[in-house]
Structure 1
Amino acid sequence: MSRKAPVLERTSTPSDDDYRQIGKALLAFNEAAVGDATPRPFAVLVRDPDTGKVIGGLWGKSVWGSFFVDTLALPDAVRGLGLGQTLMADAEAEARRRGCHNLWLDTFAFQARPFYERLGFRLFGQIDGPAPMFPRFFMVKALD
């Protein structure tokens, strides 16, 4: 890198590559501090039986013995069929296969806190703010 001061660019339209480059910088720092920090992704895709298009599913990743459920989404047309429980059970089984000690996630007040509590998750943090989005709940389930 040059000895010149870095240029700061403020933007509301960063590119996907910009995001990847910032992530690479963080990954390099983390790996210098603690070794392998590459998250291992996992997904369960829910596809429309007629078109084959993805209509929902679960997206997560594991790193350092912890499994983060990033996204769980199902369209209204398939809610109430037990798919959410199935997706979470799949994530938990995968987390156990990977040797993870916990699953964690976050959810907003208008989303699914009671659903996750029924699955054994407990609250470990909360950010308050204006309704109906907030509070935002951070939840964990121990696997040990």
Structure 2
Amino acid sequence: MVDYALRETDTPSLESYRQGLAVLRAFTGKTVGPPDNRDFALLITAPGEEAVLGGLWGQSRWGAFYVDMIVVPEALRGAGVGTDLMRRAEAEARARGCHLMWLDTYAFQARPFYERLGFTVFAQMDGPAPFYPRWFMRKLLE
């Protein structure tokens, strides 16, 4: 048994996440070969500015593309920006050779939006309203 210490925090640093991820990827590499994780982002900014106002963040891994987060600033909602972000992410997923995209969304979020884009529910997690249910959705890329 190796000695270890545990530190509890409700404000983990981005660096601590990166360090944990490196340990996980090292294990994965030894177990099934090098992970093919590739991050992806489409960032919405004001022209000439660096501050991020919204966008889409995702990752491809083992032939699947996960949409982690999509944020459209309120002033841009209903103007097709979300659809454009998702279509660009899908094009990138296809370019990476992915066979599916997947994401999750809560009851108060955007299930109908994703359904209009061809996503279907493959799992549901129930819990208290108004947050739940939480749906896990996918779109097969043929």
When the two structures are superposed, what TM-score results if normalisation uses the length of structure 2? 0.92
Q: Which residue of 2 aligns with 1:37?
A: 35
1:59 and 1:8 map into 2 onto residues whose CA distance is 30
Alignment of 1:9-48 (within 5 A): 9-48=7-46
**Deviation of the 1:106 alpha carbon:** 0.6
Q: Which amino acid aligns with 1:75?
A: P
Q: Which residue of 2 aligns with 1:69?
A: 67
1:38 and 1:142 map into 2 onto residues whose CA distance is 19
Moved over 3 A (4+): 49-53
2:98 and 2:2 map into 1 onto residues whose CA distance is 44
- Secondary structure, counterpart of 2:131 in structure 1: coil
- Structure 1 runs not aligned, ≥5 long: none
- Secondary structure, counterpart of 1:80 in structure 2: coil
- Secondary structure, counterpart of 2:129 in structure 1: coil
When the two structures are superposed, what TM-score results if normalisation uses the length of structure 1? 0.90
**Does the CA contact (< 8 Å) of 1:27 and 1:38 recur in 2?**
no
2:116 and 2:82 map into 1 onto residues whose CA distance is 12
1:52 and 1:7 map into 2 onto residues whose CA distance is 39
- Secondary structure, counterpart of 2:86 in structure 1: helix
**Deviation of the 1:5 alpha carbon:** 2.3
Q: Which residue of 2 aligns with 1:116?
A: 114
1:133 and 1:28 map into 2 onto residues whose CA distance is 35
Q: Which residue of 2 aligns with 1:78?
A: 76
Q: Which residue of 2 aligns with 1:89?
A: 87
Match of 2:134 among 128, 133, 136: 136
Q: Deviations over 1:86-144 (max 9, x none)?
A: 11000000000000000000111100000001100010111111111111111000002
Q: Which residue of 2 aligns with 1:53?
A: 51
The answer to whether the aligner puts 1:105 opposite 2:103 as a matched pair is yes
For the aligned residue pairs, the C-alpha RMSD in angstroms reads 1.6
Are residues 54 and 10 of structure 1, via their aligned partners in 2, closer, same or farther at CA, if it must alter by over 3 Å? Answer: closer
1:4 and 1:32 map into 2 onto residues whose CA distance is 21
- Structure 2 runs not aligned, ≥5 long: none
- Identical pairs, percent: 55
